[in-house]
Structure 1
Amino acid sequence: MENFNANTQQNTSMQSMPQIPRMLPLKQVIHYTGLSSTTIYDMLDKKSNRYDPTFPIQVKLSKGRVAWVESEVSGWIEGKIAARFH
């Protein structure tokens, strides 16, 4: 009976924990989108003719290290899929 109570308490505390966003390194963004790193950075550059204001902006994690929020990349891809029918 004590194990059941301990498991119930653990499950309850895990459910109340905040969702931590998954961060994707450039290599995974390239994999998921099928875009090259040059294209991705061009899409983020307002001066580029490939600029896409809907593309997710990277998050600076540390000096020399950036990543993208997985849900934002996923949402961008889903938007592109939905837009093909319009």
Structure 2
Amino acid sequence: MKLVRIKEVMDRTGLGRSTVYKYMNLGLFPKPIRLGSRAVAWVESEVVAWIQHGIECRDSESI
């Protein structure tokens, strides 16, 4: 299991920092794991699954 920090999450998703946190608060994006008092990271497989879900939704809408 690999953990990714916010920069990589932003690079992979194309979302900005504030949008990542907004989607998290709305329950639309995976929540991070706390690494320390000021550090968090996301489980890479959860971020990949979120991206894949977006692709599947897009593909099912175009049918």
Q: TM-score surpassing 0.5?
A: yes
TM-score by length of 2: 0.89
Query: Is 1:36 aligned to residue 16 of structure 2?
Result: yes
TM-score by length of 1: 0.66
- The aligned amino acid for 1:61 is L
The aligned residue for residue 69 of structure 1 is: 43
Q: Which runs of 5+ in 1 are unaligned?
A: 1-20, 46-50
The aligned residue for residue 60 of structure 1 is: 34
The aligned residue for residue 85 of structure 1 is: 59
Greater relative contact order (Cα < 8 A, sep 6+): 2
Q: Which runs of 5+ in 2 are unaligned?
A: none
* Runs of 4+ residues over 6 Å off in structure 1: none
Considering only CA atoms, is the larger Rg found in Structure 1 or Structure 2?
A: 1
1:54 Cα shift? Answer: 3.7
Q: How many residues align?
A: 60
Greater percentage in helix = 2
